[in-house]
Amino acid sequence: MDKRNDSMSAEREPSLEEWRPLYEAAIRFKEARPWEWMTDDQIFGVENPETGEVGYVCVTGMLGEHFSLSLYLGTDGLYGLLTLAFDSTASPDLILQLPLLQASFEDRNTLRKRDREVVKQLGLRFRGRNAWPMFRSYRPGYEPWYLTAAEARFLHWGLEQGLEVALRLKEDPDLLPDLDEEELLVRHPIRREDGTLEWEDVVRPMPEPEPKSISLRLDGELTDRLFSLPRSDAHFEADLFFFPGAVREKRGERPYFPYALVLVDAASGFVLGVELISPIPSLEEAWGKAFTALAALIVRAGVLPSQMTIRSSVLFETFQPLAKDLGIRLVRREHLPALDMVRDALFFRFR
C-alpha cells in the first residue's frame, strides 16, 4: 500500500471490527475503576505498534468529576499534559492546542447520534450515570471530533495497557519512575511471528521539547507606519484566545476554532480592534499572523501606547522584541479588567 492509501486508510471511520475491541477495552477499564487509586499526575507512555508514536496516559476521576483515560500524543502532548497537571495558572485554552485521544464515561444525553448508532450496531447496552463510553480525538485548533480508524486502534491499545499498568500500580505504588528524575515508563510492543503482540516495560529519558518555528514578519510599509506613530500615555490590553464559536468551511469537515486577537484601551474599555485568525494549517503559522495583526491593530489605533498588558504567553513572547524597539513597556498578567469584559461578552453570545 502506498503512502497515499495509508493516509486515506488512517482517516477513514472505524469499522465495527475496529470499534468492538475499543468498546470492550473501555468496558473492562471502567469496571476496574482505576481512578479510585490513580491521580492525574501518574504519567506513563504507551507506544503505538503501527507508528512508534508514544501516547502518554492520564487517568482522571478521583474527584468524581470526569472519568476518563487520555492519550496525549508525542512530545507536544506530553509537555501539555505536564503543564495541565502541575501548573495551576495554565490557560483553559491549552487543551485545544494539544493532540490527544480520549475515552470518557458519560451520561447518555452527552453522546451524539453518531455515537449511539455505533453502540446500537454493536448490540451493547449501558445504563445509569457515567456509564456510556465516548471516544474523541483532539487536534490542535480543532473541535473535539470522532475517531479515525487508526486513532481507534491506538486508543484501544492505550486502554488495554493503561489498565495493565493501573492494576500493577494498585499493588506497587512505586512502579512508575519519579518525574523529578526525568524518566518515564513506556509500554513497548513486541510483535511475534504469529502477529500477536507482547508488551514490555521500558524506562526512557524524558524527551526534549520540540522547538517551535514561528515566522515573524512585518512588511516595509507596516513597519514604517508603526515606527512613525506618535507616542502617548495610553495603556493597551491585548490577548489571543480561541474564539468560542467553531467554524466549519464545508459540510462534513471537522470544525475548527479560530483565534481571536483583541486589543482594548485599558482606561476606557474601548475596543481598538478584533481579528480572527485561522489555526489551520498550524498553530505556529497562526501565531506568526497574530504578531503581524497586533502590529496592524496598533497602527489602526493611531498611537504608540506607553504600556501594553498581555495575557497570552505566545503573544507576549513573540511581540516582546518589537515592543522593546518601539519603547513600549510590555507586561504579562492573567487578569485584564477591560479586555475580560469583551471576552466575557463574546463567550456569552456564542456559548
pLDDT in tens, 22-79: 999 999 999 999 999 999 999 999 999 999 999 999 999 998 889 999 999 999 999 9
What's the confidence (pLDDT) of residue 346?
Answer: 86
163 grid coordinates: 489498565
pLDDT: which is higher, 181 or 19: 19
| Nearby residues of 227 by Cβ (< 8 Å), 6 or more positions away | 326
What's the confidence (pLDDT) of residue 14?
Answer: 97
What's the confidence (pLDDT) of residue 8?
Answer: 44
Q: Decide if pLDDT at 9 tops 70.
A: no
What's the confidence (pLDDT) of residue 156?
Answer: 98
Domain layout of the chain by residue ranges = 3-205, 220-350
Tally of CB atoms within 10 A around 99: 18
pLDDT in tens, 77-121: 999 999 998 888 788 789 999 999 999 999 999 999 999 999 999
What's the confidence (pLDDT) of residue 10?
Answer: 58
Average pLDDT, the chain: 93
Q: Decide if pLDDT at 212 tops 80.
A: yes
What's the confidence (pLDDT) of residue 49?
Answer: 96
pLDDT: which is higher, 245 or 187: 187
What's the confidence (pLDDT) of residue 351?
Answer: 65
Count the alpha carbons within 13 Å of 207 in the hemisphere toward its beta carbon. Answer: 19
243 grid coordinates: 474564539
| Nearby residues of 276 by Cβ (< 8 Å), 6 or more positions away | 243, 258, 259, 260, 261
pLDDT in tens, 306-337: 999 999 999 999 999 999 999 999 999 999 99
pLDDT in tens, 147-197: 999 999 999 999 999 999 999 999 999 999 999 889 999 999 998 878 789
Percentage with pLDDT > 70 across the chain: 97
What integer is the mean pLDDT of 8-14? 74
What's the confidence (pLDDT) of residue 7?
Answer: 45
Taking every pair of Cα atoms in the chain, the longest distance, rounded to a whole number of angstroms, is 75
Give yes or no for a cis peptide into 209 (omega within 30° of 0): no
Which pTM value belongs to this model? 0.89
CATH code linked to domain 220-350: 3.30.420.230
Confidence of residue 5 (pLDDT cuts 50, 70, 90): very low
H-helix segments, the chain: 3-11, 16-32, 74-86, 113-121, 149-171, 220-227, 283-301, 313-326, 337-350
| DSSP symbols for 127-151 | -STT-EEEEEEE-TTBPPBPPPHHH
